Amino acid sequence: MQAPASTDERVDVSTTGKHVPALDGIRGLAILLVFAIHFLWSGNEIPSNNPVLWLGEQVKSIGWVGVDLFFALSGFLITGILYDTLKDPHFFRNFYARRTLRIFPLYYGFILLVTALLFVFHGSWNRWELIKLLTYTRNLSFPAPPPGPTTTLPWIAFNHFWSLCIEEQFYLVWPLCVFLLRTRAKISLAALAGILVSLTIRIVLSKTSIPEFNPYILYSWTPSHLDGLLMGALLAMGMRSKWEQRLLAWSRPVLLVGLALLCVMDWKCTHLLFELYWAVSIWGIPLLSVTFAALIAASLRKGSWLGRFFSTGFMRFFGKYSYGLYIYHYTLANLTSGFRLSVRAQFHSRLLSVLLPAALGVALSVVMSVLSYHFFEKRFLVLKRYFEAHSHEPKLDNYVAEGASQTLV
C-alpha cells in the first residue's frame, strides 16, 4: 500500500479567494479508503453467512485506490496554485516554502519519533533504507526488489511512504514545468504527454521480466504512476478555460461510466489486485485517474449532492487531519492487530475480532493526528502567512458548492 498522500493544501485565499469545503471531504474519502485496506483485516477466508465480513473484505480489497484519489486531488490543487500565482515575483520561494512548512515537519518529525522508539525498544535502523526515507527516494529502486524492512521493529510501518515520495518528486519538478510553459494550452499538453509517457512505460515494462522480479515497479515507481497527478493538473487547467462549463456538465456521466468500468475490471481481475493482474496497473491507473478527476469536477457543481456530501462535517474532519492520519495509521494498525487473537478467544466472534481492533486503531490514529496537528504541525503552518501570493486573476469563485462557506480562510 499513497498513498497520497501528504497534501493538506486547502483551496485558500492566496490562490483562489475562497475555500471549497467539498475538496476537504474528498480528501477525507481518500484517507478512509486507505484505512479500509489496513484496518479491515479478517483472515484469508470470509464466511459466506456473514454479510458484514464479506462487505468489509470487498471494501478492504479496493482501499488502495484511495492513494490515486489523493494524487488526482493533489494534482488539481497544486497545478491550480502554481498557475494562479505565475505572476508572483516570488513564485518559487512562496510555493516551496509553503510546501516545506506543510510536509517536512510531520514527515521528519515521525522519523525522529521512530528513532526515539528504537532507542526505547532496543531496535535499529536499516541505514540504507533510512537514507532513502530521508531523501524521499524509497520508491525509486529499479529494477531492484521492493524496499526491505526499514527498522528491526516489525510493527513500525513505512511501506506506505512510497506515495509521499511520488508527490514530493512531483513537487520538485512540476513547478518548473508550469513556470516555463506558462499558458493553459502548453501546461495541458505537457500533462497529457506525461500521462501517455507513464502509460507507455508501464506497457513496456510489462513486456519484460522486471515486474516478475518486482511487481510494484508498475505501481509505485514514479515514472510509471504519474497519471493521477497529471490528470488532476489537466482538470485544473480545464476549469480555468472556456471548457469549464462543459467539464462540469460531463463530470457526472464520466464518473458513472468510470465507476462501471472499474466494477467490470474488479470482476475480471479479482479485487483489482495489481500484484497479480498487470492489466490493473497498466489500464486501471489511468481509469482511476479519469474517474477521480470526474469526481472532483462533479463535486464542484453548484447544488450537487456530491458537493453537499463532501461538505459534511464528518468528511471534512477526516480531510483536515488526513496527512497525520496517513503518516501514523499504518503503525497503529500493526500495533492493534495484535489484539485480534485475544478478542477472538474472549468473545468467540470473528466479526468482533475484526471490528474491535479496527475501531481501536482508528480511534488512536484520530487522537494522535488531532494532537499532532494542533500541538505540533500548526506551529509551522502559521508561518505560511509570510509566503502568501495574492493574485487578481479570476479563479474558481463561480464553482463553490452550494452551502459552502464564502468566508476567506
91-119 average pLDDT score: 97
C-alpha cell at 331: 503503525
C-alpha cell at 112: 525522529
User: Is 10 a member of any domain?
Assistant: no
Amino acid found at 49: N
8-state DSSP, 208: S
User: Is 2 a member of any domain?
Assistant: no
The model's confidence at residue 4, banded by pLDDT at 50, 70 and 90, is very low
Residues 222 and 198: their CA atoms lie apart, in Å, by 9
Instruction: Kindly report the pTM of this predicted structure.
Output: 0.90
The model's confidence at residue 329, banded by pLDDT at 50, 70 and 90, is very high
pLDDT tens digit sequence for 59-99: 888 899 999 999 999 999 999 999 999 999 999 999 999 99
Q: Go through the chain and tell me how many residues it has.
A: 409
Per-residue pLDDT, 5 = 42
42-54 average pLDDT score: 61
**In percent, how much of the chain has pLDDT > 90?**
68
CA-to-CA dists, residue 342 to 37, 102, 178, 180, 205, angstroms: 21, 39, 54, 59, 44
| Cα-Cα end-to-end distance for the chain | 33
Residues 229 and 75: their CA atoms lie apart, in Å, by 4
Tell me: pLDDT of 147 over 80. no
143: preceding bond cis by omega (within 30 degrees): yes
User: Contact at 8 Å (CB) between 3 and 164?
Assistant: yes
User: Is 255 a member of any domain?
Assistant: yes
**In percent, how much of the chain has pLDDT > 70?**
88
The model's confidence at residue 385, banded by pLDDT at 50, 70 and 90, is very high
User: Is 408 a member of any domain?
Assistant: no
Per-residue pLDDT, 390 = 65
User: Is 11 a member of any domain?
Assistant: no
Per-residue pLDDT, 47 = 52
User: Contact at 8 Å (CB) between 334 and 284?
Assistant: no
The model's confidence at residue 145, banded by pLDDT at 50, 70 and 90, is low
Tell me: pLDDT of 9 over 50. no
User: Is 34 a member of any domain?
Assistant: yes
User: Is 6 a member of any domain?
Assistant: no
171-176 average pLDDT score: 97
Q: Which domain range does residue 372 map to?
A: 21-399
Max CA distance (Å), the chain:
65
pLDDT tens digit sequence for 223-276: 999 999 999 999 999 999 999 999 999 999 999 999 999 999 988 887 787 777
Residues 257 and 191: their CA atoms lie apart, in Å, by 23
Per-residue pLDDT, 304 = 94
Tell me: pLDDT of 370 over 70. yes
How many domains are contained in the chain?
1
Residues 47 and 195: their CA atoms lie apart, in Å, by 41
pLDDT tens digit sequence for 283-298: 999 999 999 999 999 9
pLDDT tens digit sequence for 149-167: 899 999 999 999 999 999 9
